[in-house]
Amino acid sequence: MQEKRRDVADFLAERVKSASPSPTVAVSNKARELKAQGIDVIDLGGGDPDFITPENIRLAATEAMNAGDTHYVASNGTPALKKALAKKLLDDNQLEYDPAEILVTPGGKQALFASMLATVEEGVDVLLLEPAWVSYVSMVEIAGGRAVPVSLDPDDNFRVTPELLEAAVTPATRGMVVNSPSNPTGRVLTLDEINTICEFAIEHDIIIYTDEMYEKIIYDGRKHYSIATFPGMWDRTLTFNGLSKAYAMTGWRLGYVAGPKPFIDEIAKVQSHSVTHATSFVQAAAVQALAGSQDFIAEMVTAWDRRRHMVTNGLNRVKGIRCPLPEGAFYAFPDARETGLSSVDLGAKLLQDARVAVTPGIAFGQSGEGHFRISFATADDLLEESIQRIGDALGWR
């Protein structure tokens, strides 16, 4: 028999080997592991609404399942759901998309991933406004491209400026990812910042991947702008969204991308050769989510609005921490630079001493260093207890 000569690592693809596992998933796994050992850890690392999916949506799924909607469906999405999404995009976002310009995917993450595979390759740069959601870098890299950070300045409220964009752009830049409301910073881009982004995209002839996952979770009467509605942008924008956050449907996996048909057709090829389509009866439930009462969203947002004040007020009493009030989404991104600890060391200290799991800011890029992210999509009493523990671990002002 031939002697074994190659190591496992020799069989693995470099572009995947060099990608790191999702740090937010790693934090939640660690918290789960400690909980399983009987250690009382509060997990503020995840991004999952603490509400169960509304009943009308759950019923629609079981009804569809019981009626036999258990087979393969059209790869791009069911006609009923694509029609409902086209209506949603028009009504909510003033975006005109034909159903043929919409691809339904198992989760918004898959929509982004398939889009990166369809548009990014070796030699292509994609700009990321950092701090940025953890998966963008890996998606770009797995697609063979290079993720180039636009390092936003925490001392300028992570504002997007023409100077920062111009400093980051390269001749190989093909696109930029924009995410407002932002995970992790909770920032909502202003009209000025959106205009800056649009002018920059047109000037450098690049596409925008706009991740609008948190559009409905927005506070103080701020306004969400969909980039594709701005002059000259529709042709160069891919709009991403999903039902995970707005309808508390994270486990169902339902997202979508809308854009010009030549893009959607290519992205659809990736889908048809991989996951095939989003789950049939989940698509039926999604039609109900969009058609039914939307009151549930306002109820969740009211709870998160209350908690964002609770968290911000509480953390601002902790020594070494300054916590800006989140403008959208359900994350706070406190600045802990005054503690002098790296974000990884701080995360470890909070897990060890406070038994609270948070995500270190560095997970979101270099400009997130010295910060940490907590999710306040968590019950009030757990949040109160977490703040008490964090304060006890780091000291009070």
Ligand X SMILES: Cc1ncc(COP(=O)(O)O)c(C=O)c1O
Question: Which of residues 145 and 255 has its CB atom nearest to ligand X in the complex?
Answer: 255
Closest distance to ligand X from the beta carbon of 47 (Å): 4
Question: Which of residues 180 and 343 has its CB atom nearest to ligand X in the complex?
Answer: 180
Question: Which of residues 143 and 318 has its CB atom nearest to ligand X in the complex?
Answer: 143
Q: Which among 393, 387, 396 is positioned nearest to 348, based on CA atoms?
A: 393
Cβ atoms of 183 and 133 within 8 Å: the answer is yes
DSSP letter at 354? I
Contacts of residue 135, defined as CB under 8 A and 6 or more positions apart, other chains included, come to 22, 109, 112, 113
Closest distance to ligand X from the beta carbon of 9 (Å): 30
Closest distance to ligand X from the beta carbon of 108 (Å): 3
The Cβ of residue 286 has, within 10 Å, a number of other Cβ atoms equal to: 30
Phi then psi for residue 97, to 5 deg, are -125, 135
Structure tokens at 242: 């999903």
Structure tokens at 361: 């800011």
Q: Where are the alpha helices (DSSP H) in the chain?
A: 14-17, 23-36, 55-66, 79-93, 108-119, 135-142, 162-168, 191-203, 261-272, 280-291, 295-315, 343-349, 380-394
H-helix or E-strand spanning residue 146: strand 146-151
What gap in Å lies between CA 337 and CA 375, rounded to an integer? 19
What gap in Å lies between CA 380 and CA 211, rounded to an integer? 28
Q: Which amino acid is at 183?
A: N
Q: Where are the alpha helices (DSSP H) in 273-354?
A: 280-291, 295-315, 343-349
Closest distance to ligand X from the beta carbon of 229 (Å): 20
Question: Which of residues 208 and 318 has its CB atom nearest to ligand X in the complex?
Answer: 208
Closest distance to ligand X from the beta carbon of 250 (Å): 5
Question: Which of residues 135 and 339 has its CB atom nearest to ligand X in the complex?
Answer: 135
Question: Which of residues 154 and 255 has its CB atom nearest to ligand X in the complex?
Answer: 255
Question: Which of residues 290 and 354 has its CB atom nearest to ligand X in the complex?
Answer: 290
Closest distance to ligand X from the beta carbon of 113 (Å): 9
Cβ atoms of 94 and 142 within 8 Å: the answer is no
Q: Is the peptide bond before 21 cis (omega within 30 degrees of 0)?
A: no
Please report, as ranges, the residues that interact with ligand X according to CB under 6 A.
Answer: 47, 107-109, 133, 179, 183, 211, 213, 242, 244, 250, 255
Closest distance to ligand X from the beta carbon of 244 (Å): 3
Contacts of residue 185, defined as CB under 8 A and 6 or more positions apart, other chains included, come to 131, 158, 326, 331, 333
Question: Which of residues 245 and 337 has its CB atom nearest to ligand X in the complex?
Answer: 245
Closest distance to ligand X from the beta carbon of 38 (Å): 29
Question: Which of residues 250 and 367 has its CB atom nearest to ligand X in the complex?
Answer: 250
Closest distance to ligand X from the beta carbon of 212 (Å): 9
Closest distance to ligand X from the beta carbon of 198 (Å): 20
Question: Which of residues 183 and 339 has its CB atom nearest to ligand X in the complex?
Answer: 183
Q: Which among 310, 307, 318, 317 is positioned nearest to 350, based on CA atoms?
A: 318
